Structure 1
Amino acid sequence: MIPEPDPALARSLADDLAAAGYTGARLRALWGVAADEAIGRGRALPARREAAATDSAVAILARLFFLGSPVRESEASAALTNVTIDGAERLGLVRMSSGSVTPSVMIRPQAYVDEHGAGEWWIASDIDESVRPGPLPEDHVLGVGGASLTLAGLQLPTSAARVLDLGSGCGIQSLRARRDSPDVTATDISEAALRFTRLNAQLNAVDGIRTLRGSLFDPVQGEVFDRIVSNPPFVITPRGADVPAYEYRDGGLTGDALVCHIVMGAGVHLVPGGIAQLLGNWEYVDGEDGLHRVRDWIAASPVPLDAWVIERDRMDPIAYAELWIRDGGTVPGTDEFETMLAAWLDDFEARGVREVGFGYILLRRRTEGSPALLRFERVEGAIGPNAALGMHLAESLRAHDRQARLSDAELAEAVLLVAGDVTEARHYLPGAEDPSVIELRQGGGFGRTLAVDPALAALVGASDGDLPVGRLIAAIAELLEVDPDALLSDLLPRVRGLLDDGFLTFAGGEASPSA
């Protein structure tokens, strides 16, 4: 475990990193595209070869803190002029031995883009499996992975007076939340994780992050927040001596009980209208649908909750077990791998688990008189890396709240606009005059594709902020020679869905969001 970080030494280290130009762009330029892609596949050797070819400060720091390689004492002294090798040792970042300096942690640049602009953090964590052989220790503190980047992108980019980062790990969610809130509380059961959270805040000159040690909501009993974010240890892990209990991913409970506890406990720690966002796994047990299982958790909350749950993936027990065994650094083909795989499959079989779902959970403490939101869906397919999902979620919540308050008569008087990222595709059979399929495609958000009929396609195409919905539908009914009242009744519910999903927006602005 790293020692308690010293703020003055952390600032000196930051000065060294900045002076060397220790950025993602500089590192990619140092070792090239092919080596950078190899790092993404867990192969650091090509980058090590390129970084060893130069003695620049950025190359020395890259070998030491990005690639986990020892460097000569003279090299480390040249690159760490402010913090010095002694200071880096006192921070717990390196070890000195026989003229060689060996890294104890990783420090990697992590770029971000949000509504406030673009930037980059330095994120320190334990050395991961990409640069160290063998299984990880159970108290390993993970750096920035795919799941943490996903949640950071999902965070609503709206101001919040107080934010709780539940299970902070290295602190990436706290750093992201701090950009929209002056007051962030980070909790974790791991003291090592909290020390990394504090170190990373100091490295990036970010204040306003309070750290508390404890399990789930125990450290914040009696407190309420405007926002809760959590990338919890949601991995479903069999209990027993044959499977390591990694603190960063294993909550110590059976099955998906940890995610259940967070969902059921979040509401009492939210102010009315407050939002909780988390990632999670949920089980498909025998004939039970996994999303129905999550719905039951939400219904059991002691305070009324709105919910938007999006399942992004489902895995069978074998693939799920293999994924997480490899994640811990255990290699297929070894006796340890086979033993762990058997333990996972025995656990799933004993409890009747047929599949495991993964996705995003957004909860909102319902306010009196507000329209209810209970949305459970499956969204498949790739989402572009630049998709501004946090803003999309915020805008979708605003749109839902606004349209849900309108009667059908009021919605018919509303003036709408087609969103700027929406395109239309028409598919024709050879020689056909009319299309067999009309699709609306969303360039942002979740990249949805919707098959629509000619009437709805015409309404979306005509929604240019000029005429109200009701008049447009009447004109389309006349053109199609159908009953206007019947068409209005058919299209208005679908218009509500298009507003919720961001295909259509209200013209003329709207009130400030409750979210």
Structure 2
Amino acid sequence: MTPNPDAALCDALAADLQAARFRSEALRAAWGVEADDAIGRSLRAPALRGLGDRGDALATLGRLLVLGVPQARTAVDAALPRLTAAGLQALGLAEIVGATGAAETVEPRAIVRPQSYLDTSPDGRMGTGEWWFASDLDEIALGGGALAEDHVLGVGGASLTLAGLQLPTTAGRVLDLGTGCGIQALRARRYASSVVATDLSERALAFTRLNALLNRVERVETRGGSLFEPVAGETFDRVVSNPPFVITPRAQGVPDYEYRDGGLVGDALVERVVSEVGAHLEPGGVAQLLGNWETRDGVAGLDRVRSWVQASPVPLDAWIVERELLDPIQYAEMWIRDGGTAPGSERHDALLDAWLDDFAVRGVTAVGFGYVLVRRATGAPTLARYERVPQPIASEGGLGAHLALALAAHDRLSGMDDAALAAATLKTAADVTEARHHLPGIGDPQVIELRQGAGFGRALQVDPGLAALVGACDGELAVGPLIAAIADLLEVDGAALRDDLLPRVRDLLVDGFLAFA
């Protein structure tokens, strides 16, 4: 069935879901914490056990719309008094089957799940909210097995990561490239005036329109087409994209899933987005996306991404973060499982061979995954940061605010010489702690470490001079006088200490260990 984004029907469904308390916390309480965690591992039996024989609206809708279990029409009509089972069928989200009367059942044709989100402001303040997202039946609802190639994915880990990465600063027009079920478009509307959401899949666009109506989010326009074709000649203040970046063999018998496969060889689709997106940005506009990139013939993936940025017809600032690096076998196994093919079968082995053959042709030895942030420079580019950040992050949902502050600090520092920085007053970020490691019986520490509790969770080894400066930055005295006092305390040359510390202070400001007072 094709989703039917009818405004009146979506409004009725939203009212019924609200009345039934169809929210994440209520469902988690209904079937239990352990069962809720098991759903994240594609197991629905514990949740069904937790609901038992409950017949209230929340239990009926949880079974039908979250777990994908058919329900009696009478129960669905009672749970959705405004919409009714007939309205759910009219929306294309379920189908009424069986003989007319008491024997009729409602079979789900899509899932509708609550999804909480974090709103963050650039000063780090956070608020929470929740959406409902409809998408195609997934492994939980289908009980395992391979997905259809035109499957429209719901809200997954990658989409939540990108939603959390989006800069929370005000923007005008935003492009959501490859919108899927529409989560990035709805997230962007929290700070943007309007959103254009594009996708090659008309089914995905129908889900996006339905989800915007269901959550009463206006000014989201959908357009069909590949990559930048639907917005040819247009520019935007912001571009966000969770593109179909998965590297898939272009071989017979290998499924081509629309939601993850761009139809190009290797990482060519991400290359095209990175190298072409600048032309669709207003000066100073920012694009953020997720991607995979290959380490190929001895050239590291991050270096290849650098070449894509440099290939842009307009100058781009760039901050590229590689979060994971997998060998070809690990990468292939992950995406074969994602498509619903279990290890140990002949089909699994055949698909694994196809992936490894494809990698061998291009000399691929590793595949990276990470975050891409590029900005259309108003002059010569000033930011070119390509780094690996493998450590765990406390909250990816707050990274957007961290990135916004980092960009603001970088821009401010770009206009400051050393004299201006020395005259600035700084303060240590509230999440920064210091650890000192001593050998037994020795008074002076052998290692001094600054640790960041927010942002990227960085840990830096520092010397006594820098540790003293960070500890002294309380928003009262300027950097220059603090360095002079520390030089006297350490009995070292003040000018030499200043020349040593100021470049590192710049890094600490961008990384979020320090902030301008």
Fold match by TM threshold 0.5:
yes
1:403-426 Cα offsets, whole Å, 9 max, x none, are 121111111111111111111110
| 1:261 alignment counterpart | 272
Q: Distance in 2 between matches of 1:62 and 1:346?
A: 43
Letter in 2 for 1:102: E
1:126 equivalent among 118, 122, 136? 136
1:390 to 2:400 alignment: yes
1:288 to 2:299 alignment: yes
1:412 to 2:422 alignment: yes
| 1:101 alignment counterpart | 106
Letter in 2 for 1:60: T
| 1:432 alignment counterpart | 442
Identity rate, percent: 62
| 1:463 alignment counterpart | 473
Query: 2:4, 2:90 within 8 Å by CA — same for their partners in 1?
Result: no
Q: Distance in 2 between matches of 1:27 and 1:262?
A: 39
Q: Distance in 2 between matches of 1:465 and 1:398?
A: 18
User: Which segment is superposed worse, 484-493 or 274-283?
Assistant: 484-493
Q: Distance in 2 between matches of 1:89 and 1:130?
A: 21
| 1:511 alignment counterpart | none
Q: Distance in 2 between matches of 1:483 and 1:388?
A: 41
Aligned residue-pair number: 506
Query: 1:387, 1:446 within 8 Å by CA — same for their partners in 2?
Result: no
1:480 to 2:490 alignment: yes
| 2:167 alignment counterpart | 156
1:313 to 2:324 alignment: yes
Q: Distance in 1 between matches of 2:196 and 2:359?
A: 35
TM, length-normalised to structure 1: 0.97
Query: 1:52, 1:63 within 8 Å by CA — same for their partners in 2?
Result: no
1:144 equivalent among 133, 155, 165? 155
Q: CA RMSD in A?
A: 1.0
1:441 to 2:451 alignment: yes
State the secondary structure of the residue aligned to 1:467: strand
| 2:254 alignment counterpart | 243
| 2:101 alignment counterpart | none
Letter in 2 for 1:160: A
State the secondary structure of the residue aligned to 1:205: coil
The runs of 5 or more residues in structure 1 that have no matched partner are 508-515
Shift of residue 115, structure 1, vs aligned partner: 2.8
Q: Call closer, same or farther: CA 1:318–1:277 in 2, change over 3 Å.
A: same
1:360-389 Cα offsets, whole Å, 9 max, x none, are 0000000126x6100011111111136510
Query: 2:68, 2:140 within 8 Å by CA — same for their partners in 1?
Result: no
Query: 1:76, 1:101 within 8 Å by CA — same for their partners in 2?
Result: yes
State the secondary structure of the residue aligned to 1:161: strand
Query: 1:189, 1:214 within 8 Å by CA — same for their partners in 2?
Result: yes
Letter in 2 for 1:345: L
2:117 equivalent among 96, 112, 122? 112
Letter in 1 for 2:70: P
Q: Distance in 2 between matches of 1:89 and 1:131?
A: 17
1:215 equivalent among 219, 226, 234? 226
Shift of residue 131, structure 1, vs aligned partner: 2.5
1:385-442 Cα offsets, whole Å, 9 max, x none, are 3651000000000001111211111111111111111111101011111001001011
Shift of residue 50, structure 1, vs aligned partner: 2.1
1:400 equivalent among 396, 401, 410? 410
State the secondary structure of the residue aligned to 2:467: helix
**After the TM superposition, which segments of 4 or more aligned residues of structure 1 sit over 3 Å from their partners?**
none
Letter in 2 for 1:151: L
User: Which segment is superposed worse, 69-78 or 269-278?
Assistant: 69-78
| 1:83 alignment counterpart | 83
State the secondary structure of the residue aligned to 1:163: strand
1:356 to 2:367 alignment: yes
Query: 2:139, 2:145 within 8 Å by CA — same for their partners in 1?
Result: yes
Q: Distance in 1 between matches of 2:514 and 2:3?
A: 53
| 1:26 alignment counterpart | 26
1:1-53 Cα offsets, whole Å, 9 max, x none, are 42431111111111111111100011001100111111111111110122242
Q: Distance in 1 between matches of 2:200 and 2:452?
A: 41
| 2:289 alignment counterpart | 278
| 1:513 alignment counterpart | none
Q: Distance in 1 between matches of 2:439 and 2:393?
A: 29
| 2:39 alignment counterpart | 39
Letter in 1 for 2:466: L
TM, length-normalised to structure 2: 0.97
Q: Distance in 2 between matches of 1:382 and 1:62?
A: 32
1:505 to 2:510 alignment: no
Q: Distance in 1 between matches of 2:508 and 2:368?
A: 26
